[in-house]
Amino acid sequence: MPLIEDHHYLKICAQLASSLSISIAAARRKVEVAAAKEGKKDLQSRKEIAQKILEQTLNEDKNQSKTASSSFDELLKALKEEENFMLED
């Protein structure tokens, strides 16, 4: 995957990475895979695909009324019956 230096494309990928709580490289890879599935290779179509994925992700977050980070925080909370459990050596 060659390095793409377009500022707008990188900004969309950074927003996508932030909304999915993944790295920018993983977000770019996600866009590259989606572009490859559609058979598109030019920069403009990759921007459009990245924007489409970002909009889908933001719409899903609005519909679920939870972000990925808040659901992760919820998973890390201890259950009431397990909060005093201590594992000893």
| pTM more than 0.75 | no
In a domain, 49, yes or no: yes
The residue segments making up the domain with residue 20 are 7-64
In a domain, 33, yes or no: yes
In a domain, 75, yes or no: no
In a domain, 36, yes or no: yes
State the pLDDT at residue 11: 93
State the pLDDT at residue 37: 93
State the pLDDT at residue 58: 86
In a domain, 59, yes or no: yes
In a domain, 81, yes or no: no
How distant is the alpha carbon of residue 47 from its chain centre? 16
State the pLDDT at residue 61: 73
Among left, alpha and beta (phi > 0; psi -120 to 50; other), residue 42 is beta
pLDDT lower than 50: segments of the chain? none
State the pLDDT at residue 59: 87
DSSP state of 58: H
Provide the domain count of the chain: 1
In a domain, 27, yes or no: yes
In a domain, 56, yes or no: yes
